[in-house]
Amino acid sequence: MSKGYLFQTSIEDELKKINVEGIRRRLSLELLEPIDELGTKITRISLTIKECYNCNLLQIHSAIIIYAYVKWLITSSSK
């Protein structure tokens, strides 16, 4: 998003190394609103994916600890 992938750029823009803010200044507010909404949705989705990943990782760690504890109980009781 910060690289300006949603904006159509010309060869002149690439040669002049115009950044995203320069492209945004050229566009009207009506054209920028959907792009900004899409950017916020993408950011929200990205944060949700990271939270789900962390939650799943915590569950995996918990499962490993429980498995190790049960394995330890079984091996210690059989001696």
For residue 5, name the pLDDT band (cuts at 50, 70, 90): low
Inter-residue contact 38 to 6 (CB < 8 Å): yes
At 1, the pLDDT band (50, 70, 90 cuts) reads low
Residue holding tokens 């799943």?
A: 56
Q: pLDDT tens across 38-63, in order?
A: 889 999 999 999 999 999 999 999 99
Residue among 41, 45, 40, 2 at smallest CA distance from 24: 2
> Residue 29 has what pLDDT?
86
Nearest-angstrom CA–CA distance, 17 and 13: 6
Q: What is the pTM of this model?
A: 0.64
